[in-house]
Amino acid sequence: MKNDGFTFRKRLRSFRYAFNGIRLLITKEHNAWIHCFAAVCVVIAGVLLGLSRMEWVAVVIVIGAVLAAEAVNSALEAIADFVSPEYSEAIKRTKDLAAGAVLLMAIAAAIVGGIIFFPKLIALC
């Protein structure tokens, strides 16, 4: 990859590519739809339950981390399928590891959600 130096036009173009990646994630990746639905539910619950500033920080970080992990997983799967359209044990292992990373992040996000939301829900009872 050739490095032609820094220009603002190139930086703006890179943002356009990044936003297109987010658009592709949200419009084309079925698993991302599930994560987005969960994120919307969490945000609504957070508003209704009055999360503190630090609780919002934690929620935003884990939502972003899960979506970023899903984007990396989707990109890895796309390139793996392109490079090796036929079955390959190495490609399967790679894709399974990437999917496992998303699952680990989703589990961590659920734990953070439990730590934040369970006490608030119990207090309502």
Q: Please report whether residue 3 resides in a domain.
A: no
Catalytic residue, chosen from 70, 77, 86, 89, is: 70
Whether pLDDT at 28 is above 90: yes
Question: 51 in a domain, yes or no?
Answer: yes
Quick check: 66 pLDDT over 80?
yes
Using the predicted structure, report yes or no on whether residue 32 has a pLDDT greater than 80.
Answer: yes
Active site residue 70: yes
Structure tokens at 95: 């894709």
Question: What's the maximum distance between 2 C-alpha atoms anywhere in the chain?
Answer: 62
pLDDT band at 34 (very low <50, low <70, confident <90, very high): very high
* Number of domains present in the structure of the chain: 1
- Is 15 a domain residue? no
Confidence (pLDDT) at 4: 73
Residues 39-65 have pLDDT tens digits of 999 999 999 999 999 999 999 999 999
Calpha distance 19→5 (Å, rounded)? 22
pLDDT of 19: 97
CATH number, domain at 71? 1.10.287.3610
What's the rounded Cα separation, in Å, for the pair 10 and 6? 7
- CA-CA distance, 122 to 100, in Å (whole number)? 32
Residue 2 has pLDDT above 90, yes or no: no
42 domain-assigned: yes
- Please name the residue that has the structure tokens 């994120």: 39
Q: Residue 8 falls within a domain, yes or no?
A: no
pLDDT band at 5 (very low <50, low <70, confident <90, very high): confident
Bigger pLDDT: 124 or 1?
Answer: 124
**Domain range holding 53?**
30-122
pLDDT at 1 over 70: no
